[in-house]
Amino acid sequence: MGQEFVLLISSSVFCIGACGFIIRKNPLIMFMSVELMLNSVNFLLIAYSSFLNSLDGQIFALIIMTVAAAEVVVGLAIILTIFRTRQEMDVDHINALKG
Amino acid sequence: MLQATFAGVKNLLIGMGVTFRNMLSKPVTLQYPEVKRTMPARYRGRHFLNRDEEGLERCVGCSLCSINCPVGCIHVVSAENDPNNPVSKGERYAEVYEINLLRCIYCGYCEEACPVDAVVLREHYELADYDRDNYIMEKQDLLVYPEPNEFRVNILGNTERVNK
Amino acid sequence: MFDLATVFEFTRDTVIFTVGLTAVLASLGVILCSSPIYCALYLISHMICLALLFLLYNAEFLAVVQIIVYAGAVMILFLFIIALLGGKKEVQELTFERSIAVAFIFTLLGELYLSATVGPTKQIEGKINPEIFGTAKAIGLELYSKHLVAFELASALLLVAAVGVICLAKFSFAPLKRR
Amino acid sequence: MTSEEIVKKIKENLADIVQNTDLPQGDAVIFVAPDSLQSVAEFLKNDADLKFDYLSDVRGVDYLLEEREPRFEAVYQLYSIDNQHSIRLRVGIEEDNPSVPTVSNLWKGALYPEQELFDMFGINVEGHPTMERLIMPKDWEGFPLRKDYPLTTETVAFSHNRDFKSELVKSKPPTR
Amino acid sequence: MDWVTKFLDELWDFIVQSLSDNVPLIVGSVKAIVIAVAVMSVVPGLVWLERRLMGRFQVRLGPNRVGPFGFGQPMADTIKLLFKESIIQSSADKFLFHLAPAVVVFTAIVAFAVIPFGAPFEVFGQNIELWGANVNSGILFVFAISGMGIYGMVIAGLSSNNKYSLMGGLRSSAQMISYELSLGLSALSIIVLTGSLSLMDMVVAQESVPFILIQPLAFLLFFIAGVAETNRAPFDLPEAEQELVAGFHTEYTGMKFAMFFMGEYINMVTMSALVTLLFLGGWNTYGIPIWPILAFAAKVVFLLCVFIWLRSTFPRIRYDRLMTFGWKVLLPLCLLNLLITGTLKVL
Amino acid sequence: MSVTEQGLLERDKDTMTLNMGPQHPSTHGVFRVILEMDGEVVKTAEPEIGYLHTGIEKTSENKRYVHVIPMTDRLDYLNPPGNNLAFCLSTEKLLGIEIPDRANALRVIMCELARIASHLVWLGTHALDIGAMTVFLYCWREREMILDLNEEISGVRMMTSYIRVGGVAKDATRSWLDGILDFIQYFPAKVDEYERLLTKNPIWLDRTQGIGSFTREEAINWSLSGPALRASGVNWDIRKSQPYSGYENYNFEVPVQNNGDIFDRYRVRIEEMRQSRSIIQQVLENLPGGPYKDPDNKVSLPARETLHTSMEALIHHFKLVSEGISVPKGETYVPIEGARGEVGFYIVSDGTNVPSRVKLRAPSFMAIPGMCKMMEGCYIADVVGIIGSIDIVMGEVDR
């Protein structure tokens, strides 16, 4: 398949992720949407690394994975802490700074 | 700490050694339907009614077993003996002698109460059945087992089987 | 008429297309499903599809890493948290601000689609040994030479994240009473 | 201390509270009214010579058939771990609105038997944290160990009543 | 009609051509089926072995009624489980409830695909390799797929709508994540030694001496982590029957329950095979005159017996202690071992 | 709301309610405990009993004294001779009769055998609760021998009803005494074997040490008894402090530990098995002769062989069987040291042949509130261990 296909898939997934981040209220699913966006970029990088015959893209994808993993654990820890203090998970209601 | 770790590992290995040694020993289980235990003489299993030397029923229908039964699972109705054709040696005999084995707790009190060694509990322990009706033991069910004179009272006061 | 190479190419294209489409559908599932458990499961299938795509685009090491890291660890964490906090179904409601944002996203999507029509990028020739392209060895050689700084930074990030998570999640319940 | 010494000491110290004392088969037994149970129990637990620190059991007795007053009795069996002697407290409880103060503030072990006292005899234990059914179901009516609790008997199936299967429990006065 | 015959001829030629070109593919499919069937049929044998051996450890005989030496017992059990009523709670999530056992069995079988169990040999001019799939990074593949196996347990725990199941699922996920790290790290020292991710290369590298002699600590750590990874006693917390009734498969009956069982046993075989490949020299016989494949099988069976031995001897470790052990003992030791190995390799 | 939707942390509170039992693999019968949990940690534990309520106390009020004895077997079904003995001692105290020496010796042997058997069941099930499956079957192997001995002397494996008012039911046989001799020679090696499997095993230590511990004061205040109390450092054994049945003649030690945790209860019980074995040995070494039951025909049945010869014996037999023993008016309580702790029957007699009130002092029943107190702040895995270490028998809890 050509590069158009890769671009289409990747951009669709990216936009779906962005959409999800906006329309969902559950912070967990918002996180998942962020993962979707990161993954779409990863795919793009890897596909282009194959097209360009260069490994740089794959290296970047690897580092993005690292960042994503770090981000997820920190994010989940924050969610857990918020839940423990506030007993709810709806982001619309978590708007006060006070814990 | 290192020492504690080594001691711990050593004790884990000792434990494994114990199981391993037991693996090599003979199994202690019996292969039940083929191999059966010999029950001790005092085993309290299923009830039987004894006969005496002449083949007459030992039971004289005194109902002591029924009275002494903690759960009331024995039902005795006595009747007068016909002197010409006696059922038992005494004046009376048990016309009806029934034991409900579902109700029975196999405590052996009836055996203790019987003054003429008529009712005994013997080593029959395979009592499973499909029908609850079959657990109501009537007189003919209880009289089947012993041949005459097979039991006697031994020196310790127990009914004991005479090994021929 | 039946050229083997063409057939192979066609098969490969079909596989890529199917897997890619599945990935998009799974990602749609993530944002449209109301129960968080199903969202997570859709995301897992999305990850697996992506891993397959990586494999098809000659990145076998990254495909395996994708499964180990994402599917094996990250998503398990998600499921763990869902189990801990509960996966209550959420009621979807679309406010005005949200619709505006969604409209904006769709505009973005259109633009991205337009950009996809730009002609193909040229290959960079003869830099990589195609034998080991995408294997752990190639990645390692590249990572520890050219991208050492990035690698170190990533490891530092992981360390910071680990410390941060412990600080965050270690809620202070009273120390366990050993009766 | 021997039982006689215990009884003597209690008589000396609590002459106005203890109703009566007894030494059946060598056991020390004292009779106490429900109102003074709490103070007697405290004395028994805290006195240096007696030091009854272990509550062995609490039981209820219903003397309905013996035609005596009061009808109920709560019996506390106490033991002293250090001094190795024991005593029995008998607390007579009236038939109407029977109640007795709790001793679970002194001996935590009294929690369950006192609850059983309520469950089985309907004796209200004042000050007990959970005054509800213990062994019987929560919605049970009546107090099973009272002598006037209606009993049922089970008829045993024999060949003359072989069909007797479903209707296992019949209302019938108890047999002895 | 001429073009039709022409078309058919061409089609025939193409089929013959593609078949002869794709002999490896056909051989591969046959191998895949053979391996999958073999692995699944190993399970009854393993169940028999476990029950008999446990019986012997506990001074009894174990199943000995159905068939000679009770060989038929697992089959009888399977038939019983097949015909058992499948009960699903009304409040359970039906789809996930059905999905979970399938995931467990699927991942267990797939993980076995890359395990080589013998040196390649030639039949009819075809080079037959004794494994399901030749993956260069074979060990990574095993870890990836066995990591996926956790989903089965977590989903089972989540979908059963039972608190015991949920706790079992949570425990399994936490335990697997923790011990997969140690597993990977202790395998890493072997990878460092051989310089390859391929399991085949690792066996070849042990031709003269097995790695257990060079890396005893890594072997120990890998084995412990492997026992934990397969949820076997003394690390069988997700299904600790005394605490959590049956953990994540409390609500499962009949064949779905059997599938969890099957997954666990296949994982055991995979783990034993992995230990054999990494540390015990795979099918290298070291001078003992038996078939290489038999040597491999013997080593695997021995390790399985050790699994059973451990189960019959030790009490179960507690959940918090398990985590502490994994993170504070096993992981540092793995890192230390890796450090030493790396240093020695570089020097 | 399903569990999944609600999550482990429930909406309205920080904890999860977990219902353990009555049908749970490790609640030792039909015991139910409702745990409020924070993750894996127990916040509060609320016991619920009564699932095995059989009304034995009420039934006893309508049975003759002799007929109560088979029912006492069914209370603490792991230690039937202890219950028999407790009931008989109380009755005998009311009757004011002396027991022959031989009967006392046989009673002691039966009780100590039952104690060993009970502790073996406890060790097996407790180890099984903690996950060591094999110890269970090893313990069963040895217990089987004791049950065989029970069968030899009384005719039944568990519900022996062997100890009767005024003595014992039947005299000991030669083969039974030989069997006991064999057993006490064989047994110590097996205790060592259990200890090798468990006592120093790091996993076992980890699961037992420092868990469910009660201090001396707490243990006394919560009315624990038996091994659980002695593990907390209280040197109180009724065999020593209020000797009965001739225990004062035997030389044995009361094992006491100080930490009061699961491990100490384990050690106390293991040591008790050894001491029980030594007591049996001492009894066997000088087993007195003479009658095995009270010769008074008002209390115990006349010898069987006299029934055929002596009219007087026959009349006594009829009278005793049909009327039972008439016990003087009064009330009494005699505690004994059962396998689980202080067992005793409080008997109120109204002067007839039927007791007016029978109350069992059940050690398991008294220990349950304390046991649930121990559970607070432990892990769920420890709950199982604590229930096991207290060794409750639901038969005597619910009665």
Per-residue pLDDT tens digits for E56-82: 888 888 888 887 888 888 888 888 888
Please report which confidence band the pLDDT of residue B163 belongs to, taking 50, 70 and 90 as the band edges: low
**Chain C CA closest to residue A10:** C24
Residue E169 near residue E136 (C-beta atoms within 8 A)? no
**Chain E CA closest to residue B11:** E314
pLDDT at position B162 is 57
Place of tokens 């997820």: A72
- In a domain, residue D176? The reply is no
**Chain F CA closest to residue B4:** F202
What is the average pLDDT score of chain C?
Answer: 77
* pLDDT digits 0-9 by tens, C20-73: 888 888 888 888 887 888 888 888 889 888 888 888 887 788 888 888 888 878
Domain count, chain D: 1
pLDDT at position F3 is 54
Mind telling me how many Å the CA of F376 is from chain C's nearest CA?
8
> Is it the case that residue C171 has pLDDT exceeding 60?
no
- What DSSP string runs through E273-338? HHHHHHHS-TT--TT--S-HHHHHHHHHHHHHHHHHHHHHHPPPPPHHHHHHIIIIIIHHHHHHHH
**Between E60, E310, E313, which is nearest B27 by CB?**
E60
pLDDT at position F215 is 87
Q: What percentage of chain C has pLDDT greater than the value 70?
A: 76
Domain count, chain E: 1
Cβ contact E148–C80 (<8 Å): no
Residues 65-124, chain B: which have Cβ within 8 Å of D?
71-73, 75, 96, 98, 100, 102-103
**Chain F CA closest to residue D117:** F359
**Between C84, C112, C161, which is nearest A73 by CB?**
C161
pLDDT at position C3 is 64
Segment B131-154 shows an average pLDDT of 67
pLDDT at position E14 is 78
Please report which confidence band the pLDDT of residue B43 belongs to, taking 50, 70 and 90 as the band edges: confident
Q: Which domain holds residue D28?
A: 3-170
Q: Which domain holds residue C25?
A: 1-89
Q: Which amino acid is at C103?
A: A
Per-10-residue mean pLDDT of chain A, 99 residues long, equals 77 84 80 87 85 80 86 82 68 58
How many CB atoms within 10 Å of residue F12?
7
- In a domain, residue C85? The reply is yes
Residues 80-139, chain E: which have Cβ within 8 Å of B?
none
State the CATH class of domain A3-93. Answer: mainly alpha
Domain ranges of chain A: 3-93
pLDDT at position C177 is 46
* pLDDT digits 0-9 by tens, F183-199: 888 889 889 888 888 88
Q: Which long-range contacts (CB under 8 A, 24 or more apart) does B139-142 make?
A: B139/B49, B139/B94, B139/B96, B139/B97, B139/B98, B142/B47, B142/B48, B142/B49, B142/B97, B142/B99
**Between F129, F198, F206, which is nearest E317 by CB?**
F206
* pLDDT digits 0-9 by tens, E176-202: 888 888 888 888 888 888 887 888 878
Please report which confidence band the pLDDT of residue E140 belongs to, taking 50, 70 and 90 as the band edges: confident
pLDDT at position D166 is 47
pLDDT at position A90 is 65
pLDDT at position A86 is 65
F330 lies within 8 A of chain D by CB = yes
- List the one residue out of E234, E58, E242, E244 whose CA is nearest residue F129: E242
pLDDT at position C94 is 67
- In a domain, residue C106? The reply is no
* pLDDT digits 0-9 by tens, E79-112: 888 888 888 887 777 888 888 888 888 888 888 8
> Is it the case that residue C179 has pLDDT exceeding 60?
no
| Model ipTM over 0.85 | no
Q: Touch between chain C and chain B (3+ CB pairs, < 8 Å)? A: no
* pLDDT digits 0-9 by tens, F329-387: 888 888 898 888 889 899 988 888 888 888 888 888 888 888 888 888 888 888 888 88
pLDDT at position E328 is 84
Segment E124-152 shows an average pLDDT of 75
Residues of A in contact with C73 (CB under 8 A): 69
Q: Which amino acid is at D4?
A: E
> Is it the case that residue C172 has pLDDT exceeding 70?
no
Mutate to test the interface with B, among D156, D161, D166, D170 (most CBs of B within 10 A): D156
Between strands B151-153 and D169-170, the pairing is: unpaired
CA separation for the pair F42, E167 (Å, rounded) = 14
Query: What CATH number does residue D126 fall under?
Result: 3.30.460.80
Residues 109-168, chain D: which have Cβ within 8 Å of F?
109-113, 133-137, 144-145, 147, 149, 151
pLDDT at position B157 is 46
C83 plus C18 within the same structural domain: yes
**Chain D CA closest to residue F364:** D112
Domain count, chain C: 2
> Is it the case that residue D176 has pLDDT exceeding 50?
no
* pLDDT digits 0-9 by tens, D24-46: 888 888 888 888 888 888 888 88
Mind telling me how many Å the CA of F74 is from chain D's nearest CA?
17
What is the average pLDDT score of chain E?
Answer: 82
**Between F4, F8, F212, which is nearest C179 by CB?**
F212
Cβ contact D24–F53 (<8 Å): no
CA separation for the pair B146, F379 (Å, rounded) = 60
Segment F279-300 shows an average pLDDT of 84
CA separation for the pair F119, F139 (Å, rounded) = 9
pLDDT at position C127 is 61
pLDDT at position A94 is 61
Residues of B in contact with E312 (CB under 8 A): 19
pLDDT at position F10 is 54
* pLDDT digits 0-9 by tens, E12-59: 887 887 777 667 677 777 877 888 888 888 888 888 888 888 888 888
Q: What percentage of chain B has pLDDT greater than the value 70?
A: 87
**Between F132, F201, F379, which is nearest E320 by CB?**
F379
Cβ contact F11–A87 (<8 Å): yes
How far apart, in Å, are the Cα atoms of B14 and each of F206, F263, F363?
A: 17, 19, 36
If you count residue pairs, one on C and one on F, with CB atoms under 8 Å apart, how many are there? 45
Cβ contact F379–E318 (<8 Å): yes
Q: Which domain holds residue E143?
A: 92-346
Cβ contact E313–B28 (<8 Å): no
* pLDDT digits 0-9 by tens, F133-175: 888 888 888 888 888 888 888 888 888 888 888 888 888 888 8
CA separation for the pair A79, A90 (Å, rounded) = 10
Residues of F in contact with B153 (CB under 8 A): 304-305
Q: Touch between chain D and chain A (3+ CB pairs, < 8 Å)? A: no
Please report which confidence band the pLDDT of residue B164 belongs to, taking 50, 70 and 90 as the band edges: very low
Higher pLDDT pick, F269 / D157: F269
**Chain F CA closest to residue E56:** F134
Cβ contact D158–B72 (<8 Å): no
